[in-house]
Amino acid sequence: MKSKAYAKINLFLKVLDERDNGMHNLEMVNITVGLADELELNLTENGKIEVTTSIPKLNGSDNLSYKVAEYMKKVYRVKEGVQIYIEKKIPVGGGLAGGSSDAAETIKCLNELWKLNLSFDQMIEIAKKFGSDIPYCLYRVPAIVRGVGDIIEPIDLNIENYEISLFSPRVNVSTGYVFKNLSNTNSKNGSLEENLQKLMSKDYQIFKEGLRNDLEETVFSLYPEVKQEYDLLKRVYGKDGLFMTGSGSTIVKISEKK
């Protein structure tokens, strides 16, 4: 079976309070873009799970796709094994949820290959166990995402009139490191409601004002090369519609189609 795991970007990301477990509550507006990893899954009779990728350091049992496959095989008592190969197109550590999207697509594919007949809600419950971005990656539609990625509300957000460009400085940003060193985000980026209203506008001049990310300041201070990339792009393309997605390092430019 062949399938694609699509990248996601955050049009809006606001950091709220910290939970007792050290994770932060977030408010986000997410969309899926056309950039995708390519997965190929084949059943095996030996009962083993094997995960390899085009980036050797991502192979093996630490890969999220391996972890979800191992969990599903154990919980649903599957005798067959599976070989999973992932051709990586989404930059690693780029804030585009590449690994999470791979894991989400693995859940979907194994549900079909192993004939588990899981409902969408059951697949979401599996996704929640392994990462905060995986549940959204199962939806793959514009959505408001709250909490630690576990509260998802699809929305009717039309961006067909805009062109989205992704720029990767090929810097592997650690999300955990960013949150441990989080700068004061205060409320200068406004509320979810205010920015969502702007993002829903058909007027680009209003839309671009809703593009906000509370993590930018911290990432730019921890990873100067990401800030250099942003500054270079700002000089070339202008600051309108230019922002960092997720915890970085990918810089996104959204402009009107011309």
The DSSP bridge pattern shows strands 2-18 and 162-167 to be unpaired
pLDDT band with cut points at 50, 70 and 90 for residue 186: low
- Up-side HSE of residue 31: CA atoms within 13 Å toward CB? 19
Q: Does the structure show a pLDDT above 80 at 166?
A: yes
Q: Does the structure show a pLDDT above 80 at 187?
A: no
CA atoms of 49 and 66, how far apart (whole Å): 7
Same domain, 195 and 240: yes
> Is 102 annotated in the active site?
no
Q: Does the structure show a pLDDT above 90 at 103?
A: yes
Same domain, 11 and 116: yes
pLDDT band with cut points at 50, 70 and 90 for residue 41: very high
228-239: b (≥16 Cβ within 10 Å) or e: ebbeebeeeeee
Beta carbons of 208 and 12 less than 8 angstroms apart: no
pLDDT in tens, 216-227: 999 999 999 999
Split into its structural domains, the chain has a count of 2
Tokens describing residue 206 = 């209003």
pLDDT band with cut points at 50, 70 and 90 for residue 185: low
Q: Does the structure show a pLDDT above 70 at 78?
A: yes
Same domain, 163 and 147: no
Same domain, 21 and 143: yes
Average pLDDT over the chain reads 94
pLDDT in tens, 111-132: 999 999 999 999 999 999 999 9
Same domain, 14 and 138: yes
Tokens describing residue 161 = 């009139």
Same domain, 148 and 217: no
Q: Does the structure show a pLDDT above 90 at 146?
A: yes
- Domain boundary residue, one of 153, 181, 216: 153
Beta carbons of 68 and 16 less than 8 angstroms apart: no
Q: Does the structure show a pLDDT above 80 at 10?
A: yes
What CATH number is associated with residue 250?
3.30.70.890
Q: Does the structure show a pLDDT above 80 at 184?
A: no
What CATH number is associated with residue 136?
3.30.230.10
Query: Which pLDDT belongs to residue 93?
Result: 87
Same domain, 148 and 162: no
User: With the C-alpha atoms ordered 88, 138, 146, 167, is the resulting torsion angle positive or negative?
Assistant: positive
Q: Does the structure show a pLDDT above 80 at 7?
A: yes
Residue 123 CB burial class (10 angstroms; 0-12, 13-18, ≥19): buried
Single-letter code of the amino acid located at 230 = Y
Same domain, 107 and 25: yes
Query: What is the domain range of residue 137?
Result: 2-153
**Which pTM was predicted?**
0.94
- Domain boundary residue, one of 153, 179, 209: 153
Same domain, 41 and 118: yes
Same domain, 45 and 101: yes
> Is 4 annotated in the active site?
no
- Domain boundary residue, one of 123, 153, 183: 153
Same domain, 182 and 132: no
Cβ-based neighbours of 59, under 8 Å, separated by 6 or more: 51, 52, 53
Same domain, 117 and 195: no
Mean pLDDT over residues 166-191, rounded?
A: 83
Which of these is catalytic: 67, 133, 214, 227?
133
Q: Does the structure show a pLDDT above 80 at 201?
A: yes
Mean pLDDT over residues 80-99, rounded?
A: 96
